Amino acid sequence: MNDPGPDLETLTRRLADTPPDFMDEPRVGGSGRVAVPALVNDLAGMHGARLALAVLDGFKGQSARSDRNRLAVAMICAWLLADPWLLAQRLDPASLVQVLAEVAAEMAAATPAHRFAADAERREELVRTMLGRLGYRPAGETPIQAADRLAAISATERRRLLEASRAAEQRAREIREALARKVAAESADKWTRE
Amino acid sequence: MTDAPVDDDPLHCERFPTLSPDGQRMLDFMLGHPCAPLYRNKSGNRLLAHEVEAQRAYEREVGAASVGWLPDAVPDWVPSIVENVFAQVPHYRALGSPPRFLEDVAPVSRADFAAGIAQFVPDHVPLDRMIHFRTTGTTGHPLLLPSHPVVAARYAAYHKRALRRVGVEPAHGRGQVGVVLLGYQKQCFSYVSVTPTMDESGLAKLNLHPDDWRHPDDRARYLDALAPEIVAGDPISFAEYLKLPLTRAPRALLSVSMTLLPGLRERLELRFGCPVLDIYSLNEVGPVGVFDARLGGHLLLQPRLYVEILDRAGRPVPAGEMGEITVTGGFNFCLPLLRYRTGDFASLGFSDEGPVLLGLSGRRPVRYLARGDWINNIDVTHALLPFPISHFNVHQRADASVALRLAPDAMTHAGAAQAALASLFGQQMVTVELLQADDKTLQYTSDLAGAHS
């Protein structure tokens, strides 16, 4: 976060204007339309680099459960990283791809991809996280200010994640208990039984 | 009818929240009849007063609606279901944002439900009145499916829709028995209830197996005394029903669970002089379709159930091609379905009345010869219940010996499972083999004459 970066507003507006093509369905297994490895390769090309095919393996989708949201976030990240200011920096392709992969995986763990375009707080979270990982801070902010704001957003998000995860576990336990009750086994009237 | 003491079980009120003295008299009549079977369980409609009213409205709505979608046209109500399910159901929420097109939703199967059914229950569903239906099914090991008394009651709306097509408008009411559900198994869930939407007409689920009766002749006497308007069962229980010297006939028979072969249907129609409806129904989905020979298949019954036919890779096949029946929507608000692969196969056709499943290849009833008596394949399932085996096949050879075929990962249970089956079929009758199929397996097969009743 040591280097001054682009205007925060410019990047969050860019996310708000994410084109529909970047919010289309990533290819996972046999379904979806967007080949994310090709998209990331194009991005690297715009940054003036060529990538070895093996570097792109992590952007192939195998299962919807583990890959769909991560790849959908990666598509939005790719759109963000094609911002003209960032392109002009000629970022190192290896670190660019690594940061993209890491940020997409982290962000996807808690948030549906399209909220990074539709929701103002999530847009700011994504922009600040991405800039921080690339070593930049938003224009007009000191390193300490940028670090504080990113930490504040991240802490709120981590808390939300933790609470959501606890609530989900408790709900699943309650459902299992409800299903196992004797009265649940008694069932109720149906005119036919399969 | 004779007066009998009111049930003093504290759960009685939960089973019958709106029970009137007339309804209680109906329960007493069915339980207290001198020829009554042994009812092994208790259950009830569990409907609250406002839910009874809502159910009546639901039945009217389902009766009036059409299954109006056309080939390759996803109905306009599907996108909102996709959006809601992605927002409210943990399994789908974990997949990220709702996709724009249904075809982008990854299909799920029974194996996904088995891996964690709680992940498929929406956040808003209250759990205090949750019930479950246990599927001992033919596609895997037992699974508890979340449901609700209102969901169970909704079945009637689809049965009435199917019955109306053949000119039967159920009219049973106070003091009459509306529906009898027949089983024919060594172990069978059996109970009596009343249907509040039909003015507390009686409903009995009973087992025709002689073990559940004081005398086998009581079966005909009791069924004649009940004189139900509708009798529901599966082909195996209907085969037994045919043998009884009944003097009263229902107005219609509803056959579910297994494929009803034409020969048995004709015998039932001839014997009882009433329509016999073959309903394709699944615990996960409810009644899906009713067979109509004129249409050449099962006409879909649920206005809010969209059916796709998928290939092995999960891609929709063109109309007319065989594939796996995959459903979206449904009426169980505890388990909304998005592209649920049923494990059954058919092709999709279209008629003036709506979409039709053609060439449905579901489950074929199989009975086994065990120690000189025929037993139901459900009894075999019961014997295997304690074992966590998902893929198996029980095959009876022409010499009546039995092969239990288990998937490699289930072979650790081979000894115990073999012993469980030996208790049914006799020592030295059961061998264990390795099952080499990774797809849906026909679990019950036989080379023995008479196995397919």
ipTM: 0.88
Residue (of A119, A126, A109) closest to A168 by Cα position: A109
Helix (H, G, I), strand (E, B) or coil at A158: helix
Domain range enclosing A87: 3-185
Residue B383 sits in the same domain as residue B352: no
Residue B4 banded pLDDT, cuts 50, 70, 90: very low
Is residue B96 domain-shared with residue B219, that is, in the same domain? no
Interface of B with A in 335-374 (CB under 8 A): none
Residue in chain B nearest A21 by alpha carbon: B100
Q: Which residue has the higher pLDDT, B235 or B16?
A: B16
The yes-or-no verdict on residue B25 having pLDDT over 90 is yes
Closest chain A CA to residue B257: A194
Which of B95, B127, B133 comes nearest A174 by C-beta? B127
Residues 251-290 of B with CB under 8 A from A: 254, 256-257, 279, 281-283, 287
pLDDT at A184: 81
* Cα A127 from Cα A123, distance rounded (Å): 6
In a domain, B162, yes or no: no
Residue B346 domain-assigned (yes or no) = yes
Q: DSSP letter string over B225-288?
A: HH--SEEEE-HHHHHHHTTS--S---SEEEE-SS---HHHHHHHHHHH-S-EEEEEEETTTEEE
Domain-located, residue A190: no
pLDDT-derived band at B6, boundaries 50, 70, 90: low
A27 within domain boundaries: yes
* A94 part of a folded domain: yes
**A44 within domain boundaries:** yes
Q: Are residues B220 and B246 in the same domain?
A: yes
Q: Using 50, 70 and 90 to split pLDDT, how confident is the model at B364?
A: low
Mean pLDDT score of chain B, rounded to an integer?
Answer: 90
pLDDT exceeds cutoff 80 at B409: no
For helices A69-81 and A93-108, the axis angle rounded to 10 degrees is 140
**B249 shares contact with chain A (CB less than 8 Å):** no
If one counts the domains in chain B, the total is 3
Tell me if A192 is assigned to some domain.
Answer: no
**pLDDT at residue B223 above 60?**
yes
Residue B257's pLDDT is what?
A: 76
Alpha helices (H) in B16-66, listed in sequence order: 21-32, 49-64
Residues 135 through 174 of chain B touching chain A, CB cutoff 8 Å: 135, 144, 146-149, 152-153, 155-156, 159
Residue B273 and residue B249 in contact, taking contact as beta carbons nearer than 8 Å? yes
Q: What is the pLDDT of residue A187?
A: 82
One pLDDT digit (tens) per residue for chain A, 194 residues = 578 999 999 999 999 999 999 999 999 988 899 999 999 999 999 998 888 888 899 999 999 989 999 999 999 999 999 999 999 998 888 899 999 999 999 999 889 999 999 999 999 999 999 999 999 999 999 999 999 999 998 888 888 888 989 999 999 999 999 998 888 888 888 888 78
Residue B312's pLDDT band (cuts 50, 70, 90) = confident
Looking at B239, B256, B274, the residue that finishes a domain is B274
How far, in Å, CA of A84 to CA of B188, rounded? Answer: 71
Backbone φ and ψ of B229, nearest 5°: -75, -40
Residue B415, domain CATH: 3.30.300.30
Q: Is residue A31 part of a domain?
A: yes
Look at residue B50 and tell me whether its pLDDT is greater than 60.
yes
Helix (H) / strand (E) element for B415: namely helix B414-425
Whether residues B220 and B94 fall in one domain: no
Same domain, B315 and B350: yes
pLDDT of B393 reads 85
Confidence of residue B262 (pLDDT cuts 50, 70, 90): confident
Do residues B45 and B72 both lie within one domain?
A: no
Domain boundary among B361, B390, B409: B361
- Give the residue numbers spanning the domain of B186: 12-62+168-274
Q: Please tell me which residue of chain B has the smallest CA distance to A66.
A: B95
pLDDT in the model for residue B440: 43
Give yes or no for a contact between B118 and A176, defined as CB atoms under 8 angstroms apart: yes
Number of domains making up chain A: 1
3-state secondary structure of B113: helix
Whether residue B116 is found in the same domain as residue B196: no
pLDDT score of B451: 84
Query: Looking at the whole model, is its pTM more than 0.95?
Result: no
B296 part of a folded domain: yes
